[in-house]
Copies of this chain bind each other. A is one copy, B any other.
């Protein structure tokens, strides 16, 4: 199959630092190539891919000091996709609604993966207008605030099975990884670890917008004897950080549509204790890969129970449910279905949920 992947230009694919969407597009593209398909990736020129790169702008827009208007290059990309559209069997978009007006006008079938939260007030009217555009949700939970779109599948993200490897958890600490922000609730993690009588290691960055929150609410807690703050860690350290952890704590306070950090932990054989919010009940299997709880005391209790879980089984579940290959195979099945539907002239594809089940 000849597949186009249309990525955002804000970050490279994969990103130099952060960028959940660009990471997933990188994993998907490479996995599709490994499965024998021809993939063209429309992205910034500093991207690295096993597919054929169509560079739209030399450098990721966020890192390019010359760029004043980050939308102009997106429109250049749209023109390039239109120009080359007939070379592809399917075009897979990752730009939210930016491609929608074009999608209706192209002969080639398209599908769009929605990567972010969908509880924005502009989206219901937008999808009354674009109610037939085929979209993929990254969890069933993501759809909850926005039932209107033509969801053709839920397809959970996946990661490559390397370099993250099963770790021993011998460090005996609880891990908190990601960002210091109110919705990620690092303070809850600190309290849960205290209640559980275990050490907590925090590897997280502080965005500018969260600096006041960090200084006023979190920094004082970092002095507690059971807490160790590592600051931001890079990709190479992530495997050891997660692999040596007894468990990952995700006391999230918002309906996160996915949460790559949870499957990264599972890749390291590390169980996850998370609050019931967003995708956590879909990703975590109670008693197997972790526990989904509703309160801090319940989380502290679950921490003790996860210590008994089988890390080898957790890693096996990661490989079965959250590999990049599984994600690619689910998308391939969807691509075939959409290509066939378009050929048959049917405009609405019946709702199907596929994913790591």
Contacts and interface: CB of A to CB of B under 8 A. Distances in A.
Interface of A: 57, 66-69, 71-73, 75-76, 78-80, 82, 97-98, 100-102, 104-105, 120-123, 125-126, 129-130
A121 B66 CA distance: 7
A121 B67 contact: yes
A73 B100 CA distance: 12
Most buried by B among A72, A79, A102: A72
Given A79-B100, A129-B79, A72 B120 contact: yes
Contacts of A57: 125
A72 B122 contact: yes
Most buried by B among A73, A76, A123, A126: A76
A176 to B, nearest CB: 28
A82 B76 CA distance: 20
B72 A97 contact: yes
Lowest 10 A-B CB distances belong to which pairs? A72-B122, A78-B101, A76-B129, A105-B105, A72-B126, A79-B129, A66-B121, A69-B122, A75-B97, A79-B101
Contacts of A79: 100-101, 104, 129-130
A66 B120 CA distance: 9
Contacts of A97: 72, 75
A123 B67 CA distance: 10
B82 A105 contact: yes
A122 B68 contact: yes
